[in-house]
Amino acid sequence: MRNEEPKSEPPARASGSVIVVGGGLAGLAAAVGLAGRGFKVTVLESRNRLGGRAGSFRDPQTDQLVDACQHVSMGCCTNFAHLLRTIGVEHLLSPQPKLYFVTPDRRVSVFKSDPWPAPFHLGRALMGAHYLTPFDKLRVAYGLGRMLLERPDADPPLLPWLKAHFQNERTIGRFWAIVLTSALNETVDRVGLKYARKVFRDGFVRHRDAFTVHVPSVPLGRLYGDELRGWLAAHGVEVRENAGVKRLTCTPSPSGTRISGAALRDGSTLTADWYVLAVPFDRVADLLPGELAGEPYFGGANGLTPSPITSVHLWLDRPTMKLPHAVLVDCLGQWVFDRGEVAPGEFYLQVVVSAARDLKGLGREEIQRRIYEELGRLFPPVAHAKLLRAKVVTEHTATFSAVPGVDRWRPPQASPVWNLAVAGDWTDTGWPATMEGAVRSGYLAAEAILARAGQPAKLVQPELS
């Protein structure tokens, strides 16, 4: 999708006011990028917290902060790391130099890097995977080699491509799907080659530190909590929570339509010189003024389809895992995280089921039962522990689905409306739907506003190389 600038550009301003609609990672990144550059920035968030989908809720029984879904980053996520470093919370991420892969027979393979240059640093880890036969590993190595030789923009359906390159049912299910379903929140039969290739190239092959998983050591509500608010306040950014925007308004001008205000649900209207619309793709149409409803730039969001994530939260009366996490092979769950003792006598596990369409129609009790029984088979202490309570949370529109050719529906951040930029992991970031993609989109939206205001700046951080 091409970005069409207005035919007649109004005079550039050296500064001004900015309203950012949405306090998720994309909106926060845009606010951080614009802060301290002569703009008065206001962030409007409809909820009573920041972080968007990467957020926490309060357990009503204990008042504990609980993440709706466990979010992790990787070493290749340079912009997400930059955002956390800027606001001073990077130390709240815990790097995991080892990944533990567990099969239903309870065998464990440890995936770690050797002190060799990329791409050879993970060769021994792949060769040590007990759940693949030696011939499977040769198939995987061949498939990876051929994938890396493909054009970066090639995006045919992945599953036929894998089969055409000698991948069998076992390598598809026990290697490609294990990585990609977690990384893309989509099943192998639905994704395109482009972002599958990017996951493996950027996350595992390009740099020896890229694959390191970083897990927040605190709830996400704490990660995007006091330090973030303090940083924003110190840099002149006003954050207004419980300030849901009903619709943007616009007025015609000699240079074309411009956004003139943000009408809030409480009946008030706020105005600014510049606007950033940083909301999920399924909210864009609801917030646009009627005059822009037919604009092709905004119509791309209608072509995106959502993919759900389900997380199962379990509180037990004793410790049950000796591993900080486990990647589950041939299981219903994909990841389980052991968050330790979160209250006296309460030990918390969270299981993540990505691309959770198969769970649709099952009640929460049935999902909980299946996951709990599965963990009991994998980790016998779970079966002997007392389940104190449990909670099942499904985010039905967690991410967009990275289907073949999905980029044709992802617009650039600089919209045809002169004073409006759009942000969100669903916009054109070159990344799939991740926290890294969200932050990149916010930085790119801020760059678009800075360029139009006559203050061009580069905010997006370089990738690992």
Is residue 110 within 8 Å of residue 192, measured between CB atoms? no
Give the largest CA-CA distance in the chain: 72
Query: In this predicted model, what pLDDT tens digit does every residue of 453-464 receive, in sequence order?
Result: 999 999 999 998
Residue 462: DSSP 8-state: P
282 closest CA partner among 305, 308, 254, 311:
305
φ/ψ bin of 362: left (φ > 0), alpha (ψ from -120 to 50), beta (otherwise): beta
Strands (E), 35-171: 39-44, 56-58, 65-67, 73-74, 93-96, 98-102, 108-112
Give the percent of the chain with pLDDT over 70: 96
Domains of the chain: 16-54+224-303+405-452 (3.50.50.60), 56-74+306-400 (3.90.660.10), 114-211 (no CATH)
How confident is the model at residue 342, as a pLDDT? 92
* SS3 assignment, position 205: helix
Query: In this predicted model, what pLDDT tens digit does every residue of 361-396 receive, in sequence order?
Result: 899 999 999 999 999 999 999 999 999 999 999 999
* SS3 assignment, position 127: helix
Nearest-angstrom CA–CA distance, 349 and 334 = 13
SS3 content of the chain, % helix, strand, coil (to 5): 35, 25, 40
Q: Distance of CA 461 to CAs 33, 39, 435, 436, 456, Å?
A: 12, 21, 14, 11, 15
Query: In this predicted model, what pLDDT tens digit does every residue of 246-305 receive, in sequence order?
Result: 999 998 777 678 999 999 999 999 999 999 999 999 999 999 998 897 899 999 899 999
How confident is the model at residue 5, as a pLDDT? 46
**Mean pLDDT of the 149-164 span:** 98
DSSP states along 151-185: -TT---BHHHHHHHTT--HHHIIIIIHHHHHHHHS
N- to C-terminal Cα distance for the chain?
28
Nearest-angstrom CA–CA distance, 57 and 49 = 9
Query: In this predicted model, what pLDDT tens digit does every residue of 74-130 receive, in sequence order?
Result: 999 999 999 999 999 999 999 999 999 999 999 999 999 999 988 889 999 999 999
Query: In this predicted model, what pLDDT tens digit does every residue of 412-452 receive, in sequence order?
Result: 999 999 999 999 999 999 999 999 999 999 999 999 999 99
Query: In this predicted model, what pLDDT tens digit does every residue of 204-253 receive, in sequence order?
Result: 999 999 999 999 999 999 999 999 999 999 999 999 999 999 999 998 77
How confident is the model at residue 238, as a pLDDT? 98
* SS3 assignment, position 317: coil
Nearest-angstrom CA–CA distance, 151 and 157 = 14
Judge whether residue 14 has pLDDT over 80.
no
Least confident residue range of 51-60, 315-324, 327-336, 366-375: 51-60
Judge whether residue 1 has pLDDT over 50.
no
- Tokens standing for residue 112: 């770690």
Cα dihedral 40, 42, 43, 48 in deg (nearest 10):
140
Is residue 316 within 8 Å of residue 385, measured between CB atoms? yes
- Where b means 16+ CB within 10 Å and e means fewer, 323-360 reads bebbbbbebbbbbbbbbeeeeeebbbbbbbbbbbeebe
Cα-Cα-Cα-Cα dihedral sign, residues 92, 95, 101, 106: negative
For the purposes of burial, counting CB atoms within 10 Å of the CB of 263, is it exposed (0-12), middle (13-18) or buried (19 or more)? middle
pTM of the model: 0.94
Nearest-angstrom CA–CA distance, 149 and 448 = 33
Angle subtended at Cα 321 by Cα 317 and Cα 322, rounded to the nearest 5 degrees: 130
